[in-house]
Amino acid sequence: MNYYSKITMRPVKTDLGVAACLIEKNKILLVKEAKGPQKNLWGLPKGSVDQGELPQLAVKRELKEECGINAQVKGLVGLRECLIKQTPAIFLAYLVKSKNPIIDIDNDEITDYGWFEEKDFQTLSWISEAMKELAKKALEGSDGRMIDYSETRGKSYFLYL
């Protein structure tokens, strides 16, 4: 038995969230939250990953639910990690490309939306400084990309560089 066969991975309860960075004509899509502790604050379209769901599928689902947009994941912009009540909280921001540019917001979750340049960011009340930095990085150009190995691996398998 080698060293690696002795290692066992154990599940860890994690708060896993995702955000969509959608850029059109050098502007990024931002939404204003309709409820909860983030009510009336601006950020990226976002949400939680469901049990049994891959994060990159969750970001597409959340963008569709909140804004009516079908998207394709192009890569990973960034990751935020912290502890919330001693639980690891991981938040993945994905660069996405729209398959349909028409926006139809869900007014239960979102009260407003807009396309913004970085120079507009200081006028907004943000969900968090981290969200603002992720949006800035997406606008600056993310050289991250996604490689889909699912077909050759026989299961969902993605690499982000």
**How long, in residues, is the chain?**
161
Walk along the chain (161 residues) in steps of 10 and give the mean pLDDT of each run. 63 93 96 95 97 95 96 92 88 93 89 96 96 94 78 84 73
- Residue 17 confidence (pLDDT): 96
- Residue 40 confidence (pLDDT): 97
The CATH T-level fold of domain 11-160 is: Nucleoside Triphosphate Pyrophosphohydrolase (3.90.79)
Strand ranges (E), the chain: 15-24, 27-33, 42-43, 46-48, 71-84, 87-98, 110-116, 146-148, 158-160
Domain locations along the chain = 11-160
- Residue 2 confidence (pLDDT): 56
This prediction's pTM: 0.86
Q: Give the β-pairing of 87-98 and 15-24.
A: parallel
Question: Among 65, 91, 61, which residue's Cα sits nearest to residue 73?
Answer: 61
- Residue 147 confidence (pLDDT): 82
Specify whether the CB–CB gap between 42 and 127 falls below 8 A: yes
- Residue 110 confidence (pLDDT): 95
